[in-house]
């Protein structure tokens, strides 16, 4: 057991009310789970207990306060996220976007590694389950780069193969055909750029959304390029996409290899690509897991249960 310790944190009455939660519910949970005691008087929160537990509790308080500063409020699952990732994040990884998301911070250690890879590498592959922020953080990074003048345009692509459908059999023009596949991308754009700016930038072709097949033969200069749902691309399609990259451009490729709609699943290029590109400088692979899920905590447990079932099935096979 570590030596007893105390940590004092200055919080205004307004900050304390928002961080502690209704009826001090958040503070009570922190104290109970980490076995620390807390007193708040004259704008000073004092945490007492085992030194390691006090440090962790302090980090959780700082993360909750920082999330309030970044986004204006705490989400329903902010406390669970902070408890799961209590260490202080790298503030250089924060993203500022003009939309309602405002300032974006990593909520898990996996997200922190993902944002660091985006900052440091020209091509990033992010592989992980649903709900981990793969698409949102990719779009937010692209919007931040556009706002800072690092790129002139954003290009977002996605294969349209879910449920065995092909674009030619769907009703409407090209935009109407691909829009259902790109709803998560549009949601992320609306949050980080505002719907009005999204429409204006789409009209001006500063933002371009197109199916993967339409990337062939192009050279993409001064662009931030995103390929979403890449688990549904073949190795040939991935090669085609990656070789479109031009000068002053960067790319993020996201996907979930547990939800491959190609048949057979082994034909997914995202499954095969690491063996080919793992030693290439400027290319980085970032892996997220159920621990990085930032949706309802139950989603974490569901994904974990499916992973366990898959592992058991492979052992029995």
Phi, psi dihedral angles at 159 (to 5 degrees): -70, 140
pLDDT bin (cut points 50, 70, 90) of residue 165 is very low
CATH of domain 91-293: 3.40.50.300
Instruction: Give 253-306 pLDDT, tens digit per residue.
Output: 999 998 998 888 888 999 999 999 989 999 999 999 888 887 665 666 776 787
Of 211, 187, 184, 182, the C-alpha closest to 198 is 187
pLDDT of residue 305: 80
Higher pLDDT, 253 or 86: 253
pLDDT, residue 316, reads 63
pLDDT computed for residue 238 by the predictor:
95
Q: What is the pLDDT of residues 4-49, one digit of tens each?
A: 789 999 999 999 999 999 999 999 999 999 999 999 999 999 999 9
Contact 48, 10 (CB under 8 A): no
Q: Are strands 37-41 and 44-50 parallel, antiparallel or unpaired?
A: antiparallel
pTM of the model: 0.76
Res 170 pLDDT > 80: no
**pLDDT tens-digit series, residues 183-233:** 888 889 998 998 899 999 999 999 998 888 888 889 999 999 999 999 999
pLDDT tens for residues 113-135? 999 999 999 999 999 998 899 99
Mean predicted lDDT score pLDDT of the chain: 86
Instruction: Considering only residues 163 and 189, tell me which one the structure prediction assigns the higher pLDDT.
Output: 189
CATH architecture of 4-84: 2-Layer Sandwich (3.30)
115 within 8 A of 137, measured Cβ to Cβ = yes
Residue 135's pLDDT is what?
94
Nearest to 26 by CA among 70, 76, 88: 76
Residue-by-residue DSSP string for 123-166? EEEEE--TTSSHHHHHHHHHHHHHHTTS-SEEEEEE---GGG--
- The contacts found for 2-5 with CB under 8 angstroms, 24 or more apart, are 2/50, 2/51, 2/52, 2/53, 3/50, 3/51, 4/48, 4/49, 4/50, 4/51, 5/48, 5/49, 5/50, 5/51, 5/54, 5/55
Cβ pair 178, 209 in contact under 8 A: yes
Average pLDDT over residues 91-111: 85
What residue spans define the domains of the chain?
4-84, 91-293
pLDDT of residue 216: 87
Fold matches, 4-84 and 91-293: no
pLDDT at 33: 92
pLDDT band for position 163 (cuts 50, 70, 90): very low
Best mean pLDDT range from 61-75, 117-131, 168-182, 200-214: 117-131
pLDDT at 69: 77
């Amino acid at each position: 057991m570590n030596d007893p310790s105390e940590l004092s944190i200055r919080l205004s009455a307004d900050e304390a009310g928002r961080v502690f939660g209704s009826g001090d519910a958040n503070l009570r949970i922190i104290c109970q789970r980490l076995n620390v005691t807390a007193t708040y008087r004259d704008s000073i929160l004092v945490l007492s207990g085992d030194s390691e537990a006090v440090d962790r509790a302090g980090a959780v308080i700082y993360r909750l306060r920082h999330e309030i500063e970044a986004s204006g409020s705490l989400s329903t699952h902010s406390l669970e996220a902070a408890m799961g990732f209590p260490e202080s994040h790298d503030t250089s990884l924060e993203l500022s976007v003009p939309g309602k998301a405002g300032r974006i911070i990593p909520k898990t250690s996996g997200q922190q590694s993902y944002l660091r890879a985006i900052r440091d590498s020209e091509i990033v592959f992010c592989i992980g389950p649903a709900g981990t922020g793969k698409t949102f953080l990719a779009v937010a990074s692209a919007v931040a780069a556009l706002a800072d003048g690092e790129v002139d345009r954003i290009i977002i692509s996605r294969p349209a193969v879910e449920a065995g459908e092909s674009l030619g059999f769907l009703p409407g023009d090209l935009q109407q055909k691909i829009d259902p596949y790109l709803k998560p991308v549009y949601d992320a754009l609306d949050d980080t750029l505002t719907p009005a700016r999204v429409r204006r930038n789409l009209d001006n072709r500063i933002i371009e959304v197109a199916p993967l097949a339409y990337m062939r033969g192009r050279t993409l200069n001064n662009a931030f390029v995103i390929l979403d749902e890449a688990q549904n691309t073949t190795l040939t399609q991935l090669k085609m996409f990656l070789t479109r990259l031009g000068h002053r451009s960067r790319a993020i490729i996201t996907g979930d290899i547990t939800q491959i709609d190609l048949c057979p699943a082994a034909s997914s290029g995202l499954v095969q690509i690491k063996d080919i590109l793992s030693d290439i400088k400027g290319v980085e692979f970032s892996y997220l897991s159920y621990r990085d899920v930032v949706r309802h905590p139950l989603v974490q447990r569901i994904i974990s249960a499916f992973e366990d079932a898959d592992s058991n099935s492979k052992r029995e096979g």
